[in-house]
Structure 1
Amino acid sequence: MVNIVLAGGGTAGHTSPLIATADAIRERVPDANLVVIGTAKGLETRVIPAAGLRLELIPPVPLPRKLSPELAKVPFRVVGAVRAAKQVLTDARADVLVGFGGYVSLPAYLAARQLKIPVVVHEQNSVPGLANKVAGKFAAEVCTAFPDTELPRSEFIGLPLRPAIAGLDRAAEHDRACRVFELNPTMPVLLVSGGSQGARSINNAVVDAFPKLLAEGIQVLHVLGQKNFTNETVEVTDAETGAVYRPVAYVDAMEDAYAAADLMLGRSGAGTVVETAVVGLPSVLVPLPHGNGEQARNAESLVQAGGARLLADSACTGAWLTAEIPRMINDKDKLAAMSQAGRELMPNDAAGVLADRVLALAGGGGHTR
């Protein structure tokens, strides 16, 4: 029996690659014993059980992003969490710990080190988090989602993705996907999404711009985010062109939205950058202007490769969109080149690669690469 513990939580940025990796492990070793360490404060309490994985909770340990007085409190907070993580690892008889960062990972990493259990780290952002920086110093394997992530001894493998996205053929699925959203498959589609919570500046710019985009014959599939979708949010059809503005609160199957679209406007969270590159969807990326700059860094490699265009949040206006989006979306040769650049930059098999590394350390086989 192969016993593997996975740690990661808080946001979908940590849980989604964790679940994709767990699925790849189960595909290779169906009877593998998988346990996930999380906290009660994160998204994992919902999505991990829904994925058919066993979840064990430990106390949360918030980690400051930068050196600050708060950092001095971390060791005291960590002690109880490490003790709880050691209990989970011991009860699971863990052969390997796989960590994806976030608050829950540091105690798990430290517990595994004390128990002499091999650690595999996956960092999904270009700017590594504190937990993965610490674990990177002693981990058996350190893998990254971006080629420019600065972690010692790390290897770029890409981001573990669901098979529906990793294997998406946008051209083959385009007409079907357009029907899902009641869009005309013969007209260009701009997909707009600011992530699961939406993005106010992007949403406002699109609301200003969409009447002119519709008049140009460009359809808009606008994922607003649940909190931004109100009773006043209505779809609009241009009487002259027949182009539709289709607002939705949330999309469960983003592969359908990617397949329907010709171009995407969105934030540059790690998941969005990697997924659009892997499926070959050209994008205009608008990094979140706050935080530690990780979203701007996430976008860099794809922009430099020619698969995306960078747009500052302050420049994301209705006027910019009405001037530039029609030029981009109607230039089929340029879109094809951007699509190819994205696919060439980002591997689509990271979940399998990571699963194989983990199973090799656990002595459970996997596919040699």
Structure 2
Amino acid sequence: MSWLPAVRRRRRRQDPPAAGRLPPPRRRRRHVSAPGGGGAGHAGRARDPGPGGAGRRRCLAGQRRGRAGAAGAVSGAADPRRPSAGERRPAGRRARLSLPRSGVPARRPRRLSGARPGGRGAGGRAAPPRQRAGPGPAGAGAGLLAGSRPAGPGRAAGSARRPGRGRHGRPAAADGAAGQGRARPVTHLVCTGGGTAGHVIPAIPVMQRALDEGMRVSFVGSRSGLEERLLADLAVPYYGIASGKLRRYLSRENLVDVFRVLAGVWQAWRLLGRLRPDVVFSKGGFVSFPVVFAAWLRRVPVVAHESDLSPGLANRLALPFIRTLCVTFAETRAPRFRGRRLVTGTPLRPALLRGSRERGRALIGVAPGRPVLLVTGGSLGADAINRAVRDALPALLEDFEVVHVCGAGKRAELSPAGYHQFEYVADDWGDLLAAADLVISRAGANTLFELLALGKPALLIPLSPRVSRGDQVENAELAAARGYARVLSEDDLDPAALVAALRVLRGDADAVRERLAAFRPGDAVSAIVEALGAAAGR
């Protein structure tokens, strides 16, 4: 007999109340079954069994107010439920009166224009069916999505949100590259990296592109001064933090450097809280780990770039906190990395690609038709290569004009004809590379990628695994396997072996150039900047 209370309540609603008294307050019910799309006096929510809308819930409170106000205006009769002058409302639960106040129009119901089929709008008028998105002729409401918000004051029907803004007033995101995330404009970019020039120079073209696009750019590096000197020509603020070198061997300094790294994390955390960047770009190096970890704590997305075939120690430690990893080679291994991985190549400076062979030969004053041999040991120089080249100078000068970039503080007191020494070359490096016919070099990833992009046959002498993690050996083996270069082990390096390997390379130079002509470096700067926007928009 559980249906009896419902029957009694229904009869009470249908019978008119006695004159001079108010009906007893009704209990609020969440759902009431109403035939035909709802009648007067319904409370709470009702089901709408109209055509195409059976079983759907519809809020009818606002529509009741509109119908009651319209009915009272037409008939002019007073509602029997409205208390007369001088009467007081009964105590207890507030009576649910939906009549509008005198002289005040009824409040407009919410979602009135989006009423379901079978429902009614204000004044008892049938509401139009909801428009659905899809192909078809353009018309009123044709662009609205199913379940979208109705047009309000100051907003045309079928119009989208204000361009450039999303929910809660935040900037709206746009689709990213190849559907990978939703890119949005980056307003503030923080870059980090350091320890060697190879962890700073590739970030310079990325920062320059960001500045050209109107972004605010900041750089976080170590307090040694190396990174700040390399960025002297770039108009970006520099912030130095404490950093400890990540060594792979036992040393007392490892214990001290643990506290330096922790101090760097704290300083980077406070700095990022003050700068509030949209995204962080890391080029690796021991100074980058505190910044990457602090960015993860601050929920700032991180995009990192790895130049070698296997990530360095700093990038390996930072992999769990990186959202997107950009790599130079498709063969790059990043075990246990679960984020987005992109093959972008290494960012190259525009000045490097605009190098002039004529300007380079004029810089060293070489005679026409004489081949040029360029020797470089990286940004810090290479003592083993410097010794072997200087000892082999008499044989080398017979065939080449030798340009030797030996490293800061490693210049020798030698000045034979045809031998040109430089401690470091910055602005004219592109011209010297363009003028070189053959190159002797270490196998660092950045230098190797520059040689491949410019099509220079090279003799690679990788750093020995005894004093490194073996990344240069992997890079050199990859270049040799593709026929882009020849490799001479540092353990076999001596003046005679150097001259013999160089003569073999010279005889095979034309075939190497043909294979290098098929190498396509791509636009790494644009790919990385696009990845920054996609990471910031997620």
TM-score tier, shorter chain, comes to 0.7 to 0.9
Instruction: Give the counterpart of 1:21 among 183, 189, 206.
Output: 206
For the Cα contact (< 8 Å) 1:25–1:359, is it kept in 2?
no
Give the match for residue 271 of structure 1.
Answer: 446
How far 1:116 sits from its partner (Å)? 0.9
| Mapping 1:351-366, distance limit 5 Å | 351-363=525-537
Q: Which amino acid aligns with 2:190?
A: V
Give the match for residue 367 of structure 1.
Answer: none
For the Cα contact (< 8 Å) 1:99–1:119, is it kept in 2?
yes
Q: Which amino acid aligns with 1:234?
A: S
**How high is the TM-score relative to the length of structure 1?**
0.85
Q: Which amino acid aligns with 2:280?
A: L
Instruction: Give the counterpart of 1:235 among 390, 408, 416.
Output: 416
Q: Which amino acid aligns with 1:359?
A: G
1-structure distance, mates of 2:433, 2:190: 32
2-structure distance, mates of 1:276, 1:254: 12
Q: Percent identity?
A: 36
For the Cα contact (< 8 Å) 1:328–1:334, is it kept in 2?
no
Q: Which has the larger radius of gyration?
A: 2
Give the match for residue 392 of structure 2.
Answer: 209
Give the match for residue 478 of structure 2.
Answer: 301
Q: Deviations over 1:141-191 (max 9, x none)?
A: 1111233322135332111121122x346xxx3233211111124122111
| Mapping 1:140-155, distance limit 5 Å | 140-151=323-334, 152=337, 153=339, 154-155=341-342
3-state SS of 1:265 partner: strand
3-state SS of 1:226 partner: coil
2-structure distance, mates of 1:44, 1:360: 27
For the Cα contact (< 8 Å) 2:293–2:321, is it kept in 1?
no
How far 1:286 sits from its partner (Å)? 0.3
| Mapping 1:1-369, distance limit 5 Å | 2-27=187-212, 29-30=213-214, 32-65=215-248, 76-151=259-334, 152=337, 153=339, 154-165=341-352, 167-168=353-354, 173-215=356-398, 217-230=399-412, 232-236=413-417, 244-252=418-426, 253-289=428-464, 290-340=467-517, 343-344=519-520, 347-363=521-537
| Structure-2 change in CA distance of 1:116 and 1:68 (3 Å) | farther
**Stretches of structure 2 lacking an aligned partner (at least 5 in a row):** 1-185
2-structure distance, mates of 1:205, 1:326: 15
Aligned residues: 346
How far 1:71 sits from its partner (Å)? 6.8
| Structure-2 change in CA distance of 1:72 and 1:226 (3 Å) | closer
| Structure-2 change in CA distance of 1:327 and 1:102 (3 Å) | closer
When the two chains are superposed, the root-mean-square deviation of aligned CA atoms in Å is 2.5
**How high is the TM-score relative to the length of structure 2?**
0.60
2-structure distance, mates of 1:317, 1:67: 31
| Structure-2 change in CA distance of 1:39 and 1:245 (3 Å) | closer
2-structure distance, mates of 1:294, 1:42: 26
Q: Which protein has the bigger helix share?
A: 1
| Structure-2 change in CA distance of 1:189 and 1:40 (3 Å) | same
